[in-house]
C-alpha cells in the first residue's frame, strides 16, 4: 500500500521547468530520502505534495484517493527548508495556534504540546518568545510543531541544518520513533551521510526530472564497480596482474578493481601464490556521495534559465 503516489507531475515557471514529469510512489511506513542538487526542483515538488502549489498537470494520490488539499493537508506535516515562526508570539500559544490550524482541538493541542515539550526537555519554553530562542532551539520547536498533529506523512526539508550533534541525534531518534509508530517520512536533503544513515529508500532528482529511485542497498549494488579492499601484513612493492587494476597502493593496503569476468577467488589465489599474507578482503560499495556526484556531475552547479513555452 502506498501512502502517496505521484503521476506525471509537472510545474513550469516562466523561466524554468521546475518539475518536469515526475512520477513516484512512497510506501506506507517507509523512510524515503529525496535527494538532488540545489535547484533540482525538490522544494517545488514538495510544495505540490503539501498542497501549497497546484501542479500544471499530473496527479497526486494520497492513500489511493485523489489528493484534496482541503482535508488531506491535515494528515501531512511539512517542515519547510526556510524555517518560520512568529517572532513576537509566545511559544506555547504559537504551537497551539499552528496545531489548531491543522485541525486539532485546543485542549488536544495543549495536551500534546506539553507531552512533546516534556520529552524534549522544553517545558520552560512555554511563555518565552521565539525571538529569545537560538537557531538550534527554534529548529527543535519547528520540528515539534511539524509532527504535533500526528500526521501520516511527515515531510522534512533539511531537518538537521543548524543543529548540534546532540540535538541532531535527539531529532533523529524521534524520526525513528515516529516511523516505528507508523508514520511515513520523506526527508529532503543534500547531506548524503544522513541519508545513508536514516533512509531505506531514495529518490534522486536533477533538473526537474527523477533520475534514480530505489532501495538504498539495491542502488549501491547497481553502482558497484567491483572494487575490493585488501589488507595484508606485507605487500610487494609492485603488484600488477591481468586480473585487476590497482586503484590505490599503500604499504599494508591495496585497492583493486577487478577486470570483467574475474571472480574473487581468482584474485585471492593469485595473491596467495605471490606469498601475500592476507588479513582481510572485502568489497567496497560506492558511497551515496559518489553515486550522487557521478549522476549529477556534468550538470552545471546552478540551473540555467531556459524557455519553457
Partner 1 sequence: MKKISLIIQREYLTRVKKKAFLLTTLLFPLLYMGLIFGTTYLGATSKQKLSVAIIDQSGYFPDSMLKQSNLRDSSILFTAVSDTFTPANFRKNGFDGYIILPEMEWQRGNKKIKFVTDKTHGLGTENIIENKLNLIWSETVNEKLGIGNDKKMILGSSSLAVKEENLENKNADSIVASTIGYASGFLIYFILLIYGSQVMMGVMEEKTNRIAEVVVSSVKPFQLMLGKIIGISLVALTQFLIWVACIFLVYFGGKMLGSGNAFASTMVEGIQHSFASVNLPLILFCFAFYFIGGFFFYSSLYAAIGSAINEDVREAQSLSFPITLLIIFSLVMMTVAIRDPNGPVAFWGSILPFTSPIVMMARLPFGVPGTVPVWQLALSMSLLIIGFLCTTWLAAKIYRTGILMYGKKASWKEMLKWAFRK
Site residues (CB under 8 A) for partner 1?
47, 50-52, 69, 73-74, 76, 78-80, 82-89, 97-98, 100-102, 142, 145
DSSP assignments along the chain, one per residue = -EEEEEEEEEEEETTEEEEEEEEEEEETT-EEEEE--TTSSHHHHHHHHTTSS--SEEEEEETTEE--HHHHGGGEEEE-SS----TTSBHHHHHHHHHHHTT--HHHHHHHHHHHHHHTT-GGGTTSBGGGS-HHHHHHHHHHHHHTT--SEEEEESTTTT--HHHHHHHHHHHHHHHHTT-EEEEEES-HHHHHHH-SEEEEEETTEEEEEEEHHHHHHHT---EEEEEES---S----SSEEEEEE-SSEEEEEEPTT--HHHHHHHHHHTT--EEEEEEEPPPHHHHHHHHHTTS-SSPPP----
Residue 224 sits at the vertex; the CA angle it makes with 238 and 282, to the nearest 5 degrees, is 55
Measured from the CB of residue 195, what is the shortest distance to partner 1 in angstroms? Answer: 23
Measured from the CB of residue 162, what is the shortest distance to partner 1 in angstroms? Answer: 14
Rank residues 142 and 183 by Cβ distance to partner 1 and give the closer one.
142
Rank residues 15 and 264 by Cβ distance to partner 1 and give the closer one.
15
Rank residues 162 and 214 by Cβ distance to partner 1 and give the closer one.
162
Measured from the CB of residue 78, what is the shortest distance to partner 1 in angstroms? Answer: 4
Handedness of CA 262, 266, 272, 274 (dihedral sign): negative
Measured from the CB of residue 302, what is the shortest distance to partner 1 in angstroms? Answer: 13
Measured from the CB of residue 199, what is the shortest distance to partner 1 in angstroms? Answer: 22
Measured from the CB of residue 246, what is the shortest distance to partner 1 in angstroms? Answer: 49
Non-local (6+) Cβ contacts of 107 within 8 A are none
Rank residues 82 and 237 by Cβ distance to partner 1 and give the closer one.
82
Rank residues 44 and 189 by Cβ distance to partner 1 and give the closer one.
44
Give 6's strand partners.
Answer: 24, 60
Q: How many CB atoms lie under 10 A from the CB of residue 153? A: 21
Measured from the CB of residue 74, what is the shortest distance to partner 1 in angstroms? Answer: 8
Measured from the CB of residue 266, what is the shortest distance to partner 1 in angstroms? Answer: 57
Amino acid at each position: 500500500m502506498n501512502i502517496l503516489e505521484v503521476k506525471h507531475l509537472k510545474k513550469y515557471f516562466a523561466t524554468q521547468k521546475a518539475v518536469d514529469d515526475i512520477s513516484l510512489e512512497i510506501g506506507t511506513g517507509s523512510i524515503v530520502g529525496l535527494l538532488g542538487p540545489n535547484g533540482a526542483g525538490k522544494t517545488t515538488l514538495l510544495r505540490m505534495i503539501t498542497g501549497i502549489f497546484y501542479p500544471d498537470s499530473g496527479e497526486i494520490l494520497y492513500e489511493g484517493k485523489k489528493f484534496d488539499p482541503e482535508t488531506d493537508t491535515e494528515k501531512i506535516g511539512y517542515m519547510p527548508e526556510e524555517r518560520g515562526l512568529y517572532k513576537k508570539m509566545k511559544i506555547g500559544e504559537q504551537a497551539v495556534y499552528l496545531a489548531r490550524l491543522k485541525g486539532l482541538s485546543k485542549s488536544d493541542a495543549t495536551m500534546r504540546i506539553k507531552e512533546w515539550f516534556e520529552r524534549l526537555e522544553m517545558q520552560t519554553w512555554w511563555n518565552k518568545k521565539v525571538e529569545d530562542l537560538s537557531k538550534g532551539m527554534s529548529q527543535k520547536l519547528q520540528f515539534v510543531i511539524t509532527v504535533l498533529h500526528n500526521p501520516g506523512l511527515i515531510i522534512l526539508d533539511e531537518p538537521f541544518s543548524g543543529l548540534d550533534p546532540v540535538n541532531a541525534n535527539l531529532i533523529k531518534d524521534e524520526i525513528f520513533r515516529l516511523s516505528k509508530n507508523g508514520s511515513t517520512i520523506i526527508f529532503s536533503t543534500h547531506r548524503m551521510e544522513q541519508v545513508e544513515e536514516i533512509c531505506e529508500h531514495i529518490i534522486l532528482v536533477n533538473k526537474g526530472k527523477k533520475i534514480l529511485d530505489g532501495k538504498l542497498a539495491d542502488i549501491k549494488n547497481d553502482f558497484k564497480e567491483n572494487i575490493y579492499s585488501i589488507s595484508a601484513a606485507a605487500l610487494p612493492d609492485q603488484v600488477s596482474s591481468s586480473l585487476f587494476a590497482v586503484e590505490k597502493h599503500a604499504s599494508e593496503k591495496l585497492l583493486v578493481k577487478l577486470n570483467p569476468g574475474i571472480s574473487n577467488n581468482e584474485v585471492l589465489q593469485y595473491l596467495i601464490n605471490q606469498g601475500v599474507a592476507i588479513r582481510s578482503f572485502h568489497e567496497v560499495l560506492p558511497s551515496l556521495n559518489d553515486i550522487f556526484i557521478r549522476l549529477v556531475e556534468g550538470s552545471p552547479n546552478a540551473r540555467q534559465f531556459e524557455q519553457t513555452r
